[in-house]
Amino acid sequence: MKTSFKIFINYRREDTSGYAGRLFDSLAEEFGEENIFIDVTKIDTGKDYTEVITNALDLSSYFLILIGNTWLDCKDASGNRRLDNPGDFVRKEIRLAIEKKTTIIPVLLEDAKMPSPEKLPADIREICKWQAIEVTDSRWKFDIDKLIKSINLKKRAFAFNRKYIAAVALVLAVALIIGIWKFRSGDTVSHPLTPKDYYHNAKMYELNGDFTNARKSYKEYLKFNLLFIDPHVSYQSMIKSQEGKQAAQQEYKALLSISRNAVTEFANCLLMDRDDEISGLLQLIKKDPMFAPAFYQLSIEYSQDRLGERSLSEKSMERQYLTEFLHLDSSGNNLRYYLDKKIAEEQTEDAMNRLKQLAYATDVVKSQVFPTYMLANDGWYMYISIPEHATKIYYKFNNDTGYHFTGLSDYQYSGTDIPQANSNVFLGHLKNGQYPVSIKYTDMKGTEQGPFNIVFDTEKERLLSVKKNLEMMHWVSFNTFDSQLLIYFTSLLSERDVIKQIRYSINNESLSNDFPLQPWTKGGIPEMQNDIYIKAPLTTKYVCIKIIFLDNAESTMKRFNVDGSSN
């Protein structure tokens, strides 16, 4: 018999995967599982995804788009918005549904709002013309009934009792011995004895909307003090959706008084506000340095998804916790804490992907401030480069007793009204030598970074600058006077503070002559010396020059033609 789907559920795992399963059960009870398409249950391993989706949409009358709080701006591992990718599966499914003129029903979850058309890619903006339905945890049954009424499908000819739903064979967890627990049927266990029985019953009661008995079963399961995290997360999620976060916090406060171990302490941390959660997790790994789940959760707290725009130090923290997590994970110290091994496997994959993205950021943190220096006629300037937004910059130079504020520039950071910190500092005339520099700054989060201690070596910086400049400039110029050719070395002489010797030859490459240099040790750009040119015959065609620097490095020999032609 040919499959005939009527309702297609479109959702993003990172946004509404929990709601998708719950909605599937509610709609299956009303219309039958065979009439609902959801990728988790309908796409077999090895099948072509696009082909399956296209065929399913051909058979579907209604297309439900589940939209949660992160649906619009959800980002991939590279930090790009997923919806902006034409190959994104959520966008692709929506586009196909629009092309096939399927009836679309946006389902708003977690108090999400319908996105405005201008925030959507052009090929899926049409969803904004469809009437959305809001579904909330507190009014789940009422809102689902409203959704069902908006779907004009005939009900099945008989009342559908949940005990006949064969497809409620959801894989829940991992058996204590073989690693996997499965639903044996849609019924609860009449006389539960084992933790497996109680956890099974808790999930079944929850799926049926019997939250009182679900809570009792969860409590019985937790009495066994098993070191698995996912049942705790499931229990917390149910309490929060039914009674609020505060009720879940009170429940775990009571649980900790009778059962305190790494897993219950970890689960309790998940209910805290961010700062308290981080503090609690740090205390936990101090007591148990091998508890990998805490390192993964700490990495989440410093991730881009959690914080949005981040400082370099926050990226560094994420990198640190991911590295430690993967080290422990490689020894099985994360997998062991999950009944559903797929959760642990997805965490490993996520950690590896995020770590790759953070490689560059961590390298930057190692040398977070990049000062560059330039010598001008009035003295040395320092330009402070910081690879993130800095609202204030402070520096201390040589023998200064305190830090100096560089001030604010007349520019603002793009997309904000925050003025940029001035990054230019005048240091004045300096004799050649090494000078200590200390720099610190305030990042966009208001956190002070540094100090970063650097040694400013005037000779080294001057050498780097001169060598770079000489690659781009003409070393000599030519003029005729009194029947002779005058070859001027003025361009090189203004750099003679770091030049030891200028060798040259005329009409050959022997470099047998030295141009006379007057030493300059006063610091700053050298004043022009008395001897600035040599005399040569008017028949001279070219001059060859090589420079030896104070560090004994030698330039390549360069040839300069009198007529200005290239070599």
Average pLDDT over residues 229-247: 88
For residue 359, the model assigns a pLDDT of 65
The two domains 7-163 and 370-461 share their CATH topology (first three levels equal): no
For residue 168, the model assigns a pLDDT of 35
For residue 167, the model assigns a pLDDT of 38
What string of DSSP letters covers 455-491?
EEEHHHHHHHHHHHHHTTS---EEEEETTEEEEE-HH
Percent of the chain beyond pLDDT 90? 40
For residue 153, the model assigns a pLDDT of 62
For domain 168-365, give the fold: 1.25.40
Choosing among 1.10.10, 1.10.287, 2.30.29, 2.60.40, the CATH entry for 473-561 is: 2.60.40
Q: How far apart are CA 158 and CA 181, in angstroms?
A: 32
For residue 5, the model assigns a pLDDT of 57
Domain 370-461 falls under CATH 2.60.40: yes
Which helix (H) or strand (E) segment holds residue 452: the answer is strand 448-457
pLDDT higher than 60, residue 107: yes
For residue 358, the model assigns a pLDDT of 77
Q: Which amino acid, one-letter code, is at 55?
A: N
Domain ranges of the chain: 7-163, 168-365, 370-461, 473-561
- Which of the pair, 71 or 188, is modelled with greater confidence? 71
Q: How far apart are the first and last CA of the chain?
A: 83
What string of DSSP letters covers 243-287?
H-HHHHHHHHHHHHHH--SHHHHHHHHTTS-HHHHHHHHHHHHHH
Sheet with strand 477-481: strands edge to edge: 477-481, 484-488, 533-536
Q: How confident is the model at residue 316 (pLDDT cuts 50, 70, 90)?
A: confident
pLDDT per residue over 119-165, tens digit each? Answer: 999 999 999 888 788 888 767 787 788 888 888 764 443 333 333 33
Q: Are strands 181-182 and 171-173 parallel, antiparallel or unpaired?
A: antiparallel
What is the CATH architecture of 7-163?
3-Layer(aba) Sandwich (3.40)
CA Rg value for the chain: 36
pLDDT per residue over 162-205, tens digit each? Answer: 333 333 333 333 333 333 343 444 578 888 888 888 998 988 88
pLDDT higher than 90, residue 276: yes
Helix-helix angle 262-269:230-243, to 10 degrees: 40
Q: How confident is the model at residue 440 (pLDDT cuts 50, 70, 90)?
A: very high
